[in-house]
Amino acid sequence: MSECRFLPQRIERVYTGPLPEDRGIEHRIDQVAVEEPLEIQVARPEPTAVVATAAITMRTPGHDPELAVGFLIGEGIVRSLSDVLKVETRVPRPGVQIRVVLRAGCAFDLERLRRNFDATSSCGLCGKASLQGLSMDAFAPLPQADPDARIDAARVADLPRRLREAQEVFERTGGLHAAGLFDAGGAPLVVREDVGRHNAVDKVIGACFLAGAWPLPGSILAVSGRASFELMQKAVASGIPMLAAVGAPSSLAVEVARRYGATLVGFTKANGFNIYAGGERIAVSAASPLVAALS
């Protein structure tokens, strides 16, 4: 099974400089991020074997078992390490399937899976045919912030740089999102890339789960794009108390963060960031000369 994540493509590079000699077309080879479909299946073991398709997602090949398990965690289907018996990779032609076999006593709603059948690389929610997909009742509120274990604001602001440094395929293509799990000191634990934001997060969460590290309290999830409802849901489902995004959050992401006691940070840059929820987990210097005004 190939896990090629980028491919060479012949392109024409067009230059439009101010002077005639700066204009023209250059024929060259560029590297393009690979996007291929993956079917995620969930199954019960014998003697009452049941197999259902949980999602079909467009993803960048690589770390597919992690993606499948992370997706099922975010959907509330997998809730503990003991829920998963095995993860199987199947390669029918064409396509790739990842089958996650759950323990006999682990229940899942087949009808709900059918309603949520389609996901895309841009937004998994787009494929959900029912607002029941927005239910967060399966997840418990996060523990209250420990005032003695707050994370320094400078470390939060440095997360995009650390995430960017770990983006190997982005360096070649410029076409992938990234997600990374960091410890309270800002050190990277797991970083994954994908054409889809939610896929990158699923791969991070799935990698930790398959390594026996789950749930993930005391960690920070950093993402290269915006913070959507779905990404906030995945963080809450995994017990991750803080999500830091390079881009903007959505209103529903803010609502979910506040409802479950999570910290949500957006527009994270080297010189600062916005706190939308859970600011008590972040230590900001009291010596700051800035005074905020609400209008």
Q: What are the backbone angles phi and psi of residue 227, rounded to the nearest 5°?
A: -105, 105
Smallest CA-to-CA distance from 233 within 260, 200, 211 is with 260
Convert 59-96 to b/e letters by CB count within 10 Å (16 or more is b). Answer: bbbbbbbbbbbbbbbbbbbbbeeebbeebeeeeeeeeb
Residue whose pair of structure tokens reads 């099974």 in the numeric block: 1
- Residue 265 near residue 274 (C-beta atoms within 8 A): yes
- What is the set of active-site residues? 123
Measured CA distances, 95 to 10, 36, 64 (Å): 25, 8, 12
Beta-bridge mates of residue 283: 152
- Residue 29 near residue 9 (C-beta atoms within 8 A): yes
Residue whose pair of structure tokens reads 């963060």 in the numeric block: 257
